[in-house]
Chains A and B, each alone.
Chain A
Amino acid sequence: MSHSKKASIFNKDIERTTWHDETLWFVRQKRDKMAYVIPEFQQLRDLASQIKEHTLSQLDEYLLEFERNALKNGVHVHWAADAKEHNEIVLKILKKHKAKKIVKSKSMLTEECHLNPFLQQHAIKVVDTDLGERIIQLRDEAPSHIVLPAIHLKKEDVGETFHQHLNTPKGEKDPQRLTEAARQHLREKFVQADAALTGVNFAIAETGSVVVCTNEGNADLGVNLAKVHIACMGFEKIIPRFNDLSVFTRLLARSATGQPITTYTSHFTKPRPGAEMHVVIVDNGRTQQLGREDFYNSLKCIRCGACMNTCPVYRRSGGHSYNFTVPGPIGSILSPNLDLKKHSSLPFASTLCGSCTEVCPVKIDIHVQLYKWRQQIGESNALPMSKKLSMKVMSKVLASSKLFSFSGKMGRTMIKWLPYSMTHNKSVNPWAKARELPEVPEHSFREWYKQNK
């Protein structure tokens, strides 16, 4: 189903749409406050963008440097070409350790690779430990946002889910009591876990360590209790030096949730005595994106989610309407790389207002790329022939002032003479569902000009 179809279903519940919009706008405003108070915020964005630019230009070298240093630290490093390989690598590690229960924190990559269902097929139980992730896992839903995965749910929805799965009293919707219930439930899972899986926010080539930024501390809890830590990362997570990190940690939480910094910034460099640490480095279409001149810099993304919070379309259509692991503006420029046809409606799910580009902490020109993807889609077979033909006709008309004046006059005359019920028929003219057509003037400007000048 296209984005617009899903979005129109989302918009059937106007009150909820308004609530969703306002909730995310609140997050955007928190971000603004935090950005405004730092005089050098724009310089930080420039710097972050340049560090990423540089890194992407020598990615192979930095990845190998990272591997060398990680190996020195006693970490196992694995390379996965795609999601399938990633999942198999993880499974192999878990099997070696006879791990049956694992806890997971902070990993959109494993969502991207659909790791959970894969492991479940192999009788391994995965528990997402971050509160939002856990809520949607219990509901068997996909995340609707990369930082706030359950942002589409109200506290009443969560209360109902917890009532069903965690035995909280029916009708309980007090966030504190619900969180406490989740906490108790998750503590048990942490203690039982055979392995801990985490994502990676930054991988530092110079030190071979990975950095995970969280607010709940679940990554630390999981990793420090279990015997095996598997950290999964897309290969664009690399940054060259330890010194570069502060530029990103200053930007990440401010852009994401309007916090000065995440509660935990955890550095994992080597395994604990008696434990094992693995890093799985994943490509899964990234090399292809890196090779696209117009789109490679989408790989600068640090997954802060700010472009979602600011996007007026995302706020009013919800993350699920994008039907892709990463929703919102950034998802709309990442997804066509993987499957142009399947995701062909996403670059059109935007007014090209450019707000995403202005908030992006690493200055990805998101709206420019949306425009460019549209051109690629226009040239491919992803759009219906009728659309292509109508564009050709339009081009002919608009390249000739005679045809233009003529068809303009025809159009105006038609709107004027046809009955209102026809020009404003909702199934023929989507414009007219919520809007009136412009009132038709007697003359066009050019007709007036000819007569009066």
Chain B
Amino acid sequence: MKIALFVPCYVDQFYPNVGIATLQLLEKLGVEVDFPMEQTCCGQPMANTGFEKDSIPVYNHFVKTFTGYDYIVTPSGSCAYHVKKHYNIIEQTTAVKEVRSKTIELVSFITDVLKVKELPVTFPYKVGLHVSCHGQRGLKNATASEITPDHDGLVLSLLKNIKGIDLTVLNRNDECCGFGGSFCVSEEAVSAKMGIDRVNDHVKNGTQVLTGADMSCLMHLEGIVRREKLAMKVMHIAEILNGNKV
């Protein structure tokens, strides 16, 4: 299997440890991983702002960079979703179609492709999972409370099997964190309030480590956690699964 790692632009710049954890985790699972140096971004920032057309060069660049791999794995549900869902505005060449179908979010790659159900890590903390909307309602990696009362999903299934872990039961299991790309600045007040409400839900229910499969949500929530000087630690799921220390 030829696997490429796609590290989203802001993760590359601000959260290299998440990229490193993803790489190490994949290697531990016996996967040989390539990191094409030409990579930049999936193009979502412009597209969500209403400038999808300006993203086309970025889309083409992405496809060029990642053509020829069996899977393009990324530690971001949101970016994977963007490639799958929104690369429909460029000509659907074989390369484009392949890249779209082969781009996959890290946790689904682990559970669905590698068929790994359990990882040999111990994590004796109270862990709160933030379900990202694009991973859940976009990629359908988790059940949604609009449809069913049962909380389930790929990330949860891996977390449940970690030794020593205690999962937080939240009052609102899958409410959006309020990041929303450019929304976080253009609608600053609502975005912040949404984030604060999410964080408070975790505080109230005892979360020590807040995690999720999307660093963008976590970046926003971490910004609040640090501003409020809370003791809570924010970690990407890849860091936990890789056995990183708190």
CB-defined A-B contacts under 8 Å, sample of 24 = A4-B187, A8-B190, A14-B193, A25-B172, A35-B146, A312-B176, A375-B50, A376-B50, A378-B49, A398-B45, A398-B46, A400-B61, A404-B9, A408-B12, A430-B186, A434-B188, A434-B227, A435-B192, A436-B222, A437-B223, A441-B16, A443-B16, A448-B19, A448-B20
Asked whether A430 and B133 contact (CB < 8 A) given A374-B48, A438-B15, the answer is no
Given A435-B223, A436-B226, are A401 and B37 also a contact pair (CB < 8 Å)? yes
A379 within 8 A of B: yes
Question: Considering the chains assembled together, what is the distance between the CA atoms of A383 and B50 in angstroms?
Answer: 9
A351 interface neighbour in B54, B176, B226, Cβ under 8 Å: B176
Q: Is A378 touching B188 in the complex (CB atoms < 8 A)?
A: no
Is the pair A399, B9 in contact by a Cβ cutoff of 8 Å? no
Selected interface stretch from B122-130, B137-145, B155-163, B237-245: B137-145
Residue B178 CB within 8 A of the other chain? yes
Which residue in chain B gives the minimum CB-CB distance to A2?
B186
A32 touches B145 (CB 8 A): yes
Residues of chain A lying within 8 A (CB to CB) of residue B57? 395-396, 398-399
Contact A441 B14 (CB under 8 A): yes
Shortest beta-carbon distance from B229 to chain A in Å = 10
**Does B7 lie at the interface of the complex (its beta carbon under 8 Å from any beta carbon of A)?**
yes
Contact between A4 and B189 (Cβ–Cβ < 8 Å)? Answer: yes
* Contact among B146, B179, B188 with A433 in the assembled complex (CB-CB below 8 Å): B188
- B182 contacts which chain A residues (CB < 8 A)? 348
Cα distance A251–B48 in the bound complex, in angstroms: 32
In the complex, which of the residues B16, B46, B55 contacts A444, with contact meaning CB atoms closer than 8 Å? B16
Residues of A within 8 A of B189 (CB): 4, 7-8, 10-11
Chain B residues whose C-beta falls within 8 Å of the C-beta of A435 in the assembled complex:
192, 195, 220, 223-224, 226-227
Q: Is the CB of A445 within 8 A of B133?
A: no
Query: In the complex, which of the residues B16, B19, B193, B197 has the most CB atoms of chain A within 10 Å of its own CB atom?
Result: B193
Closest chain A CB from B171 CB (angstroms): 9
A354 to B227, CA, bound (A): 28
A353 contacts chain B at the CB level, 8 A cutoff: yes
Can you list, as one digit per residue, whether each of A393-410 has a CB less than 8 Å from chain B (1) or not (0)?
A: 011111111001000100
Q: When A355-B137, A436-B226, A445-B20 are in contact, do A401 and B38 touch as well, CB less than 8 Å?
A: yes
Q: Is the CB of A445 within 8 A of B19?
A: yes
CB–CB B223/A349 < 8 A? no
A391, B51: Cβ atoms closer than 8 Å: yes
> When each residue 36-47 of chain B gets 1 if its CB lies under 8 Å from chain A and 0 otherwise, what string results?
011111010111
How far is it, in angstroms, between the C-alpha of A398 and the C-alpha of B59 when the chains are bound?
Answer: 10
Within the complex, which residue of A312, A350, A448 is in contact with B175, where a contact is CB–CB below 8 Å? A312
User: Which of A11, A400, A434: most chain B Cβ within 10 A?
Assistant: A434
Q: Cβ of B9: which chain A residues have Cβ within 8 Å of it?
A: 398, 404, 408
Q: Count B-side interface residues using an 8 Å CB cutoff.
A: 74
Query: Do residues A313 and B223 form an inter-chain contact, with CB atoms below 8 A?
Result: no
Given contacts A11-B190, A376-B50, 6 further A-B contacts (CB under 8 A): A348-B183, A359-B146, A375-B47, A395-B57, A395-B58, A449-B35
User: Given A379, A400, A443, which contacts B40 in the complex, CB threshold below 8 Å?
Assistant: A400
A residues within 8 Å of B by Cβ?
Answer: 3-4, 7-8, 10-11, 14, 17-18, 21, 25, 32, 35-36, 42, 310, 312-313, 316-317, 347-355, 357-359, 371, 374-379, 383, 387-388, 391-392, 394-401, 404, 408, 411-412, 430-431, 433-438, 440-441, 443-450, 453
Contact B187 A446 (CB under 8 A): no
B93 within 8 A of A: no
Residues on the A chain within 8 Å of B149, using CB: 32, 36
Closest 3 pairs between A and B when the two form their complex, measured CB to CB? A435-B223, A378-B50, A351-B180
Chain A residues with Cβ below 8 Å from B11 are 445
Asked whether B17 is an interface residue with its Cβ less than 8 Å from the other chain, the reply is: yes
Given A395-B46, A399-B40, A404-B41, do A350 and B53 touch, yes or no (CB 8 Å)? Answer: no
Whole-angstrom distance between the Cβ of A424 and the nearest chain B Cβ: 9
| Identity of the chain A residue whose Cβ is nearest the Cβ of B11 in the assembled complex | A445
A355 B45 Cβ-Cβ under 8 A: no
8 Å CB contact of B148 from A36, A383, A391: A36
A392 to B193, CA, bound (A): 31
Report how far A435 CA is from B86 CA in the complex, Å: 30
Give the CA-CA distance A374 to B55 in the complex, in Å: 14
Report the Cα distance A396→B190, complex, angstroms: 31
Quick check: B46 and A394 within 8 Å, CB to CB?
yes
Question: Are B58's CB and A399's CB within 8 A?
Answer: yes
Contact with A along B205-246 (1 / 0, CB 8 A): 000000000000001101110110000000000000000000
| Cα of A388 to Cα of B50 in the assembled complex, Å | 10
Tell me if A348 and B186 are in contact (CB < 8 A). Answer: yes
B180, A352: Cβ atoms closer than 8 Å? yes
From A374, A399, A400, A438, contact of B223 by CB (8 A): A438
Contacts of A448 in B (CB 8 A): 16, 19-20
**Chain B hits for A383, CB < 8 A:** 50
**B13 in the interface (beta carbon within 8 A):** yes
Q: Are B183 and A351 in contact (CB under 8 A)?
A: yes
Q: State whether the Cβ of B25 lies closer than 8 Å to any Cβ in chain A.
A: no
| Closest chain B residue, CB of each to CB of A431 | B185
A353 in contact with B133 (CB, 8 Å): yes
